[in-house]
Structure 1
Amino acid sequence: MKQILVELKEMPELNIQVEEIIKTWESGKYKQVLFHIYSGMEAEMFTAYAAKRLQKLFPEADIVGTMSAGEIMDGHLIKKGILIGALFLESTTAEVFRYDNVKGNEPSVGRKIREQLDSIPEIKAAELLLPGTEFDTKELFDEIDECDKSIRIFGGYSGGHTMNSPVHYVFDASGIMFDSILVTTFAGSDFHIDIDKVIGWEPLGVPFTVTKADGHKLIELDNRPASGIYEKFLEIDRRLDSNAKEGYTFPLLAEYNGEEWLRSAIHIEEDGSLNMHGSVMEGMDIQLSYGNPASIVKQVNERLEKVHDFKPQAIFIYSCIVRKAFWERYVDLELKPFGQLCSTTGFYTWGEVIRDTESGEIVEHNVTQLSIAMREGEPSDEELPAVQVDDSVLKGPAAQMRRLTSLVYTTMEELQKAQKDLQVLNEKLRLMADRDALTGLFNRGKTEDIIYGLLDETAKNGTPLSLLMIDIDYFKSVNDEYGHHTGDLVLKETAALLDDAANRVPDGHAGRWGGEEFFIILPDTRSEDALSIADTLRKKVENHDFPGVGHLTISLGVITVSKRVNAKDMFLRVDKALYDAKEGGRNCIVKVEM
């Protein structure tokens, strides 16, 4: 495998500019050449001419191209223009497939792509080039997801050099396409590929929940217009034509299936909704984020180590236009080291695509850098240089930005830690308010609340509710003979036995009523089932060996209600049932109905 890059100039003729590519092809060493063309030109005429002219020079070659928001050549962003990458293959088979009329037909196109991928022997990877983000990509990708999970999938969305560019296209030698997808497959036992992503943006502020969304449109966060997240925290006026530009370096960070996603806004609509790069889904937790140079550099360096060890022969970089805007004149910072490893090309996208290796799901990303390392055969014995991002070049405002983001990051960490500590404390306070300090069971107040709530449900739908009121027999004698410390241990062990019995019923609960009296609450439990549970519990307690005391027994009153009742009368009746059990000789059960 070998990759040769040419930055196309107006002069001289194309055949002279690609002379090295011609010589390499004519050497006979390679069985195939695959061309990628990245065009920063909104005017399609010159782009189409370059693709057709290249096809005439190499009639047996496959050509794929995309409009680009920035062209990457050997670790550098070149001046806006056209970049040609020639990938020479010795044993790998690359094929290009075009799918037209995608919009409105996303499921059927997705099925065709899936079927095509699954039909190719020894397929290892597939690249998707898409014109903009106007498709219903969820329907498209849901179908492609079903292909063989071993196939690595990556790609990017076309788009112009500016965020308000209205033109998005892909192309091949036949011409420019605005409603087509180009799929390039790589197959062969000697082909190896390593793909991963780098983000480096950090959460900022509190999370919000997506309560209303439609594809790429984010409508509501926490049941309020989604634009509020930008208007309130970044003071961006939705009435400005450039509203999204003001905030796209502060994308929205979401977590889905354990993966971090970033979504940048294309435009803030007048109705307060956000038109996003990439789909969003209801139920997602989402929050503002900011680019932290230190985190970006750390993640890129971690990725560089893996790429270095992979020993690639060619690298593609597909990186988001928002990263280009974020770095400005330092844009080469996170690109240059890749170019020091081997020939590196790619483009700045309007969105990135990568398949999750575990779930097989194709995920859209924004503000993300994809690096695709490739080689044929086993790794070379030749040592590659050790490379890292050199962020010492950051000067002036950029250095101040690095320090400021470090301050923000550290402050956010401290605030998040304080918030977590507060949440833990609040949970402890809540438990203290609801729980009996000695036994850990619900206290009387919480037990009453649960019973009253379940009585209301029973009154509405007639679902049976059974209650067990329990008293430890001769408990006063335990305290008198063995002391209160031993008595407390008896209460704790009895509580554990009661809690175990309650948990055998869905949504069952145990609570301490006071002293040695307890309740077990059994929702949706009939009288005969409640009696069975009560008798099993009675026997279990009777057979239990309480340390230092020996065997004890309990008495139980059982009541079942299945209609609206007076709560006070119910408590009196189950209390009377418990009293009768104790008067009847203890270690027994008395049942009452209402």
Structure 2
Amino acid sequence: MKLLQTTYNNLFIQTVSHWDIKGHNALFHVFVPFNMQNNIDETDKVREILGYFYPDIPVIGCSATGEIYDGTMCDREIVVSAMIFEDPRSRVEVFPYYAEKDYTNMEDLLAIAESTPDLKGIEILTAAPYQPLEAAGEIMDRLPEDVEIFGGVAVGDEFQKSFIFANDCEYSRDSSACVMYIGPELHIQTDRMLGWKSIGYPLTVTRSEGAVVYEINGMPAYDVYNHYLHIHKDNNFFYDALQFPWEVQVDDDTTYIRHAKSVNPDGSILMSTNIPEGSTIRITFGDPRRMMNHTKQSGSELLKFSPQVVYVINCFGRKLFWNDNDDAEVSEISRKLETTGFSALGELLRYNGTTLLNNLSIVCVAMREGPIKKKIDVEKEIKINESNIPVTHRLAIFINTITDELMEKNKQLNEMLYKASHDALTDLLNRGAIEREIYDTCDVNSPAHNEHWHLIMLDIDDFKALNDQYGHSEGDNALKALADYLKTEIGKKPAVEVGRWGGEEFMIILTDYDDNKVLELAEKIRKDINNIPSPSGKLSVSIGVTNHHEFEAALRTIDRVDGLLYDAKNNGKNKICSDLN
């Protein structure tokens, strides 16, 4: 596999006509500066010339910035790259505009991919909105995990709209095109480079809609930048905030980066891409030394793969972050590798089995035909010279270390509080915790005070006989099974708390329910528990139900429901006794 490149200039026809491509499977990438005057007309000329000399070779491209040519970024010229496969079994197939609003097209593409032998990777170039792109990713993630998925979002603005194109199809400004990379000896390895360092406590997105985040921890989103970083609502907001993007936590092993684009008058923030409500985020900062070190380390890992071509998708925002030194990372990656690619508005990558749209990252796609043919020298472990770390970076390390220590202490405290309030066997609230719920609800001075509440108390019938006949382990199993039911089916209902009262007794407090609803729920509990398997055949419970009377002490209500429970046990068991009308 090899790479040929040129720019669209006065020698373009002469250059491409002499490329040694005929007789090979190949793929043309065409990356067009989004802000170039008459960029569509100029691209038409490029496509026409490529089609004239190489009519059978597929073409894909998009509006871009920071087009990579000869190992550096080229912002002012159209860059044309040819990936040439030397193994005749390696090939590509280009599919235009699959990620439309019609899900059928995406399902059709999945069916084609699943039936394609030796499929190694899928590249996506897109100008589609986030929602259909996300849906397309979810469908493609049904492919085996060894199929790499990668790509980028075409660049544009309000004056020059983004676009993509493929083969001889029309330009599209709202959908996607993809390339399937196929071959038994074609090898693809992907990686992403972040390098942003999280600082401070985790925060929760408490209100968002699409790419607009309204509230974080219940406060206007802008307060995060104003309170912690003193970033103001002015013309510099984008560039100031760009240095402190957000790390969004997907799971324990996966994060992605989002950056703020603008702040609205109501304090909400327009982010680079969607952030789901309920997401956990942390502010990060970009230290150029740390980022470059991360890039060098990732580059060293790429060298071990011995790639013949590396396709680089850099983020436009990351390019802006580097300002006058925007070529630093691409040049570093290209020192020992043949590279092509561009800077995008977002970088697509399947990571840990999930295709994510990244921001402020670099996605590298290493490709090779056949086994490793030559060993490329890999630099020894790269370390930052600690004596040269700037004072701002040392302060960030100091803040982050303290934050991590406080978070660990807070985690330990929360674990202790949980153990102190929950029953070890059943994981329900223990006697003390459920009692506090009841007394706080009754206390007029408590924030949890409510005049309208009920108690349901239940006791496992013939529990002593179960223990005596089958052993205490079976008794414990019965308690845990009943507790699991109460926790999942009852405790998740609104304004309901469930606890173990002691032994085989359980207490439920409900606020703002009417009498009929409480009695219906008590009957449901009785019937459902009859279906829980037990060595004795089935479990049953006796249940007492009452409500709190006006001006009554909490203890009086507890004593009354306890008495009703024993009325149920003394009158045949497996029944409900209540004083509700």
* TM-score, L = length of structure 2: 0.73
Q: Distance in 2 between matches of 1:526 and 1:134?
A: 48
Secondary structure, aligned partner of 1:25:
coil
Deviations 1:44-101 (A, max 9, x none): 132332232232232222121122221223542235322221111123111222117x
1:6–1:325 Cα change, 3 Å: same
Residue 379, structure 1, aligned to residue 372, structure 2: yes
Q: Distance in 2 between matches of 1:571 and 1:209?
A: 42
Aligned match for 1:255, one of 230, 249, 266: 249
- 1:479 maps to none
- 1:563 maps to 546
Deviations 1:264-316 (A, max 9, x none): 23333344433332222122112322113454345334423332221111101
1:337–1:246 Cα change, 3 Å: closer
| Contact persistence 1:159–1:165 (CA under 8 A) | no
Aligned match for 1:354, one of 323, 331, 349: 349
Deviation at 1:384, TM superposition (A): 0.8
- 1:62 maps to 58
Residue 118, structure 1, aligned to residue 111, structure 2: no
- 1:446 maps to 433
- 2:29 maps to 36
1:406–1:170 Cα change, 3 Å: farther
Deviation at 1:454, TM superposition (A): 10
Matching residue's letter, 1:167: K
- 2:552 maps to none
Aligned match for 1:416, one of 388, 404, 412: 404
Q: Distance in 2 between matches of 1:121 and 1:165?
A: 43
Matching residue's letter, 1:169: F
| Contact persistence 1:340–1:387 (CA under 8 A) | no
* TM-score, L = length of structure 1: 0.72
Deviation at 1:136, TM superposition (A): 3.9
Output aligned runs, 1:10-409, within 5 Å: 10-11=9-10, 13-18=11-16, 22-25=18-21, 28=23, 31-42=24-35, 43=37, 44=39, 45-90=41-86, 91=88, 92-99=90-97, 105=101, 107-131=103-127, 133=129, 136-159=132-155, 166-172=160-166, 174=168, 176-238=171-233, 240=234, 243-257=237-251, 258-293=253-288, 295-358=290-353, 361-380=354-373, 382-387=374-379, 403-409=391-397
1:565–1:519 Cα change, 3 Å: farther
Secondary structure, aligned partner of 1:341:
coil
Q: Distance in 1 between matches of 2:326 and 2:382?
A: 12
What is the percent sequence identity of the aligned residues? 22
Q: Distance in 2 between matches of 1:222 and 1:392?
A: 36
| Contact persistence 2:32–2:78 (CA under 8 A) | yes
Secondary structure, aligned partner of 2:307:
coil
Q: Distance in 1 between matches of 2:330 and 2:418?
A: 51
Q: Distance in 1 between matches of 2:102 and 2:116?
A: 22
- 2:491 maps to none
- Based on CA coordinates, which of the two structures has the bigger radius of gyration? 1
Q: Distance in 2 between matches of 1:217 and 1:266?
A: 10
Output aligned runs, 1:542-557, within 5 Å: none
1:7–1:118 Cα change, 3 Å: same
Deviation at 1:125, TM superposition (A): 1.0
Q: Distance in 1 between matches of 2:19 and 2:418?
A: 76
- 1:521 maps to 506
Q: Distance in 1 between matches of 2:312 and 2:237?
A: 29
Secondary structure, aligned partner of 1:563:
strand
Deviation at 1:322, TM superposition (A): 1.9
Q: Distance in 1 between matches of 2:171 and 2:380?
A: 38
Provide structure 1 residue ranges, at least 5 long, that are not aligned to the other structure: 469-494, 513-517, 537-557, 579-588
Secondary structure, aligned partner of 1:562:
strand
Deviations 1:537-590 (A, max 9, x none): xxxxxxxxxxxxxxxxxxxxx984222367437548969999xxxxxxxxxx9x
Deviation at 1:218, TM superposition (A): 2.8
Q: Distance in 2 between matches of 1:329 and 1:387?
A: 27
Secondary structure, aligned partner of 1:340:
coil
Matching residue's letter, 1:306: E
Number of aligned residue pairs: 511
Provide structure 2 residue ranges, at least 5 long, that are not aligned to the other structure: 443-447, 461-471, 487-497, 509-521, 550-554, 567-572
Deviation at 1:511, TM superposition (A): 6.4
Q: Distance in 2 between matches of 1:444 and 1:337?
A: 63
> Which one is further off, 181-190 or 299-308?
299-308
Q: Distance in 1 between matches of 2:323 and 2:386?
A: 11
Matching residue's letter, 2:375: E
- 1:466 maps to 458
1:275–1:444 Cα change, 3 Å: closer
1:435–1:34 Cα change, 3 Å: closer
Q: Distance in 2 between matches of 1:74 and 1:406?
A: 37
Matching residue's letter, 1:449: R
1:576–1:281 Cα change, 3 Å: closer
- 2:569 maps to none
1:126–1:570 Cα change, 3 Å: closer
1:441–1:230 Cα change, 3 Å: closer
Deviations 1:395-449 (A, max 9, x none): 9xxx77x5523430332122221232144236536756x589xxx9988743532
Matching residue's letter, 1:428: M
Q: Distance in 1 between matches of 2:5 and 2:385?
A: 27
- 2:482 maps to 505
| Contact persistence 2:564–2:577 (CA under 8 A) | no
